[in-house]
Amino acid sequence: MRTRLALTALPGFESDLLTLPTAELQKMALGLLVEVRNGTVQGVRLDSRVATGDLSDCFKMYFDTDGTHKPRYRLVYRYQPDEVNAVSIEAVGVGERADLAVYRSISARLGRGADRR
């Protein structure tokens, strides 16, 4: 029997969640985290980029309530060591895709500011 992974969040995630424009989007983001925790979905691994910094230990998932366009929102999470379960899911950030907004915010939150060469 597989142990259920713990679900935690970095400081700032809750305020990210509350800035999503609708309660439906907030529920979608939380629902995706539950699906990740349950092992039913997995996001796409991020990498290190000049514009966003090193986010290579994080994964992204796309979501939106409007299914007619490219999803406008991103959920970012990562797997973290945990004393009880060996690994937990940590919600890192959630926000708009436009202008890499969510990735820039997360990079700053993690202290991995984008390389300004």
Cα angle vertex 65, ends 47, 99, to 5°? 40
Task: Dump strand ranges (E) for 1-117.
Answer: 6-9, 44-45, 48-49, 53-54, 58-63, 73-82, 86-96
Dihedral of CA 64/59/115/112: which sign? positive
Residue 75 lies inside a defined structural domain of this protein:
yes
Residue 1 lies inside a defined structural domain of this protein:
no
CATH number of the domain residue 20 falls in: 3.30.2310.20
How many folded domains does the chain comprise?
1
Domain of 29, in residue numbers: 6-109
The answer, yes or no, to whether residue 3 has pLDDT greater than 70, is no
Residue 77 lies inside a defined structural domain of this protein:
yes
Residue 117 lies inside a defined structural domain of this protein:
no
Residue 116 lies inside a defined structural domain of this protein:
no
Residue 114 lies inside a defined structural domain of this protein:
no
Is the whole model's pTM more than 0.85, yes or no? yes
- Rounded to the nearest 10°, the torsion over CA 33, 34, 35, 37 is 90
Give the pLDDT confidence of 19-77 residue by residue, as tens digits.
Answer: 999 999 999 999 999 999 988 999 999 999 888 899 999 999 999 998 888 999 999 99
Distance CA 105, CA 93 (A): 8
Residue 30 lies inside a defined structural domain of this protein:
yes
Q: Which helix (H) or strand (E) holds 23?
A: helix 23-38
Confidence of residue 117 (pLDDT cuts 50, 70, 90): very low
